[in-house]
Amino acid sequence: MHGLGKRYFANSGILESEGFYKDGKLNGKGKTYYESGNLKSEGTYAHEELSGKGKVYHENG
């Protein structure tokens, strides 16, 4: 897979995660979401590994 990939919660269809992939591996900016739709975490990845510091958010903001 190359480019932007997205995954959705099975029960609700709400976006669960999104990120950029290169050669099938997360490589670039990635984000995860709570099922409420609020941002859960974000960071930059290199070959599936967090590169530098990421941010994690509480579900209520």
Q: What is the pLDDT of residues 6-46, one digit of tens each?
A: 999 999 999 999 999 999 999 999 999 999 999 999 999 99
Is residue 61 over pLDDT 80?
Answer: no
Q: What share of the chain is helix, strand, coil (3-state, %, to 5)?
A: 0, 55, 45
Residues 6+ apart with CB under 8 A from 5: 18, 19, 20, 21
Task: Give pTM, 2 decimals.
Answer: 0.87
> What integer pLDDT is reported at residue 60 of this predicted model?
87
Q: From residue 33, how far is each of 8, 40, 44, 57 by CA, in Å?
A: 10, 5, 15, 9
* 26 CB-side CA count, 13 A: 17
